[in-house]
Amino acid sequence: MKILICFGTRPEAIKMAPICLELVKQNIPFKLCVTAQHREMLDQVLNFFGLLPDYDLNIMKPNQSLNMLSSRILSKMDGIFETEPFDIVLVHGDTTTSSLVALSAFHRNIKVAHVEAGLRTYDKQSPFPEELNRQLTGRISDYHFTPTIKAKENLLSEKINESEIIVTGNTVIDALLVAIQKIDEGYTNATIESLKNKIDLNKKLILVTGHRRESFGQGFENLCKALLELVREEDVQIVYPVHLNPNVKNVVYEKLSNIENILLIEPLDYPSFIWLMSKATVIISDSGGIQEEAPSLNIPVLVTRNTTERDEGIKAKCSFLVGTNPKKIVEKAKEVLDSDFVMKVNNPYGNGNAAKRIVEFLRDFKYSKC
């Protein structure tokens, strides 16, 4: 059996790395392909987990449209499939890489397995283009590794055969536990040491991230307005690793530069971000991965989106949907910053065994191919 694992962005790399490591641990051969949809941020994750791609498509170009990106992925994957036959291709989540790699494999009659399958908002504009990417990948895939029972139920409602769905938990928790263990055992880098000198750990730390297209413009202006209100509290410090997209960066730096107790920094490498996240009192973010990771650290997340495909966290009250309404952000942030607020929940997204469950399936799949 020949396995190809393919991803392109930093979040995908984080969530697929535990599968690669488990395959290596169990001595199951595979090939790794990266599209490099995120170049620098992707490479940082690969280095941290010690992964070396067999194929690097390097598909990004300046100001590239989604259609141009899609066509380049299809074309370059065709070249790989002409060079080497595969029995199964693993893709992840909701990226353009995932949906187009899945489509290219389908065109070659290769089985597709979807990691982090079944998440839905059923609003194709929110998040855009991720929601439709998930649905397209779901229709193409032969096997679906869902992180939760709710995700499985979504697929069943879409008439996916139950025998093709495997509930595994989310591999992002596997990756988080690996990173935390390394940090606890003394791992550090120049960025972590620099952060230690810049952050006042005697204050309540609000960690902020944001990158979603649907928040470009007024959404990010509203977020900045809320942060300016929150930082008036004397015991609060805000740290904001600002996304490099000009639609985010230009607004944030215009509104929040040179404000006392607001630290605007460059995007962080994965271990540095995990270290910073572990120090936070509350996180304000539109990130799906952070919604999944933070409960393992007992840190509440204010989700700056109008919808989320991760309802389990909302129901468990470890995440709170606030959109980009400044009043809602400020009110909920002050509530969770209150000294009486305590969050102690079992992470609804997994316990760190997802990669083992996925590799167990692949091992059984291998024997079925013999």
- Which residues have a catalytic role annotated? 94, 116, 130, 211, 213, 243
DSSP 121: -
Q: Read out DSSP for 11-47?
A: HHHHHHHHHHHHHHHTT---EEEE--SSSHHHHHHHH
Residue 258 gets the label, from left (phi > 0), alpha (psi -120 to 50) or beta, of left
What is the maximal distance between C-alpha atoms in the chain?
A: 66
List the structure tokens of 357.
């469950």
CB 34 within 8 A of CB 57: yes
CB 15 within 8 A of CB 92: yes
At what angle are helices 270-278 and 171-184 packed, to 10 degrees?
A: 80
Q: If we measure between CA atoms, which residue out of 81, 94, 91 comes closest to residue 34? A: 91
CB 236 within 8 A of CB 262: no
At what angle are helices 190-198 and 270-278 packed, to 10 degrees?
A: 30
Dist CA 148 CA 130 (whole Å): 19
DSSP 306: S
Dist CA 254 CA 256 (whole Å): 6
Dist CA 219 CA 285 (whole Å): 12
Dist CA 220 CA 212 (whole Å): 10
Dist CA 130 CA 143 (whole Å): 19
Dist CA 356 CA 104 (whole Å): 27
